[in-house]
Amino acid sequence: MQKIDTTLFQPGQLSKDGFLGDDDRPIEEIILEDQRSLSRFGTDAAGLARRLQRILDWGKNRLDDTLELPTATIRVQWDRGMLPCPFGDSGLHPKITVEIRFKNTGKSLRFSQLSLHLLRKHGFFGGRGSAFRLEPEECTRIDVPPDFSTPNS
């Protein structure tokens, strides 16, 4: 894996809080560790991103709506603005945020349109302590209801 320049991942560069949180590991190490974690659950970052994308797509038509599921509450919010990819990919990503609150633990999981791009294209879940860090194990627990429809289905 090629060494990744972390300049754009730092607070104040592309986003107020940055993408690494308090994680001081090299980005390459973060990605490899998360890949190993996911493999224990029989999935990969791209597959997980596709599942989460279904939730985000559902929410694009129901902004600021709340969905109550047996195991979780899902809320989607759209803030003004767009964010570029810190890896330097072209394009901008709308600031659409999904929050999933698990009823049995009270824990929350947040992700954005950019989070899904980073996951799908780079296998990057964010650094530990970052606002949009996706913990691989928690992501595998998300049950996407079969009746969730996407624009392409």
Residue 112: phi and psi, rounded to 5, are -130, 175
3-state secondary structure of 95: strand
Burial class (CB in 10 A: 0-12, 13-18, 19+), 2: exposed
pTM, two decimal places: 0.87
Report yes or no: 68 and 88 within 8 Å, Cβ to Cβ.
no
**One pLDDT digit (tens) per residue for the chain, 153 residues:** 667 888 999 999 999 999 999 999 999 999 999 999 999 988 889 989 988 998 888 877 777 778 888 888 889 888 888 999 999 999 999 998 999 898 888 888 899 999 999 999 999 999 999 999 999 988 887 766 666 654 433
Listed by start position, the domains of the chain span: 13-140
Count of other CB atoms within 10 angstroms of residue 40: 10
d(CA 106, CA 17): 24
Q: Note the pLDDT of residue 64.
A: 77
Strand segments (E) across the chain: 66-68, 72-84, 92-102, 108-112
d(CA 98, CA 150): 15
Q: Note the pLDDT of residue 147.
A: 60
Q: Note the pLDDT of residue 148.
A: 60
Q: Note the pLDDT of residue 105.
A: 86
